[in-house]
Amino acid sequence: MADIFTLEQRVDKCRLCSLWEERHRIVVGEGSPCSKAMLVGEAPGAREDEMGRPFVGRSGKFLSELMKEAGVSRDSFYITNMVKCRPPENRKPKECEIEACRAFLEEQILFFAPDLILTVGNTPTQWFLNTKKGMTALRGQFYPWKFQGRSLLIRPLFHPSYLLRNRSREEGHPLAQTLLDLQEVKKFLGK
């Protein structure tokens, strides 16, 4: 397994799918190399493509605000996406694009060896848990996951773009549920 800098170089040269043709910058990931938690989203958006950093657009800023409100630092995570190049028009990545980036994501998981992976939105949640169930059914709990002989936990979160459209803080609503989920993550990280 190589270091993250070498991984970034390989991602930059990757031509396994057509997403490289329209990207401005690759978005491999960022965060503490000592973190025992990863946050995995779907794919970079326009702002991420421009800056080369994950979760820095409107949704990412909102996620950071929610994390702060729940007492969880963004710095507690290594943050990445399943797909390292922006899909056109911010569309959902195709299966072949996810598969093209799979080895890169798996290498990141091996390198950082997290105890917990937060999956943000349907796409990464369904991929990690190998299910077609939606977020409403899956959020709110930790799921055991085995990878390369290691046991770790998956915790699904609603995507912040969904939460921006559903801002009610009433009990039982997605935003209130996400804050509860993040508080559970804080407890887990505090162990």
pLDDT in tens, 45-95: 999 999 999 999 999 999 999 999 999 999 999 999 999 999 999 899 999
SS (H, E, C) 127-190: HHHCCCCCHHHHCCCCEEEEECCEEEEEEEECCHHHHHHCCCCCCCCHHHHHHHHHHHHHHHHH
SS3 120: strand
Q: Residue 138 belongs to a domain with what CATH number?
A: 3.40.470.10
Higher per-residue pLDDT: 1 or 49: 49
User: Residue 67 is part of which domain span?
Assistant: 4-190
Does residue 162 register a pLDDT over 60? yes
The mean per-residue pLDDT over the stretch 153-168 comes to 96
The mean per-residue pLDDT over the stretch 165-169 comes to 93
Burial annotation 55-81 (CB, 10 A radius, 16+ → b, else e): bbbebbebbbebbeebebebebbbbbb
Average of per-residue pLDDT values in the chain:
95
Position 191 scores a pLDDT of 67
User: Closest by alpha carbon to 120, among 71, 171, 185, 69?
Assistant: 185
In this prediction, residue 168 has a pLDDT band, given cuts at 50, 70 and 90, of very high
Backbone angles phi, psi at 13, to 5 degrees: -90, -5
Does residue 1 register a pLDDT over 60? no
Over residues 3-17, the pLDDT tens digits come to 888 999 999 999 999
- Looking at the structure of the chain, the number of domains it has is 1
Spatial CB neighbours of 63, under 8 Å, sequence gap ≥ 6: 55, 120, 160
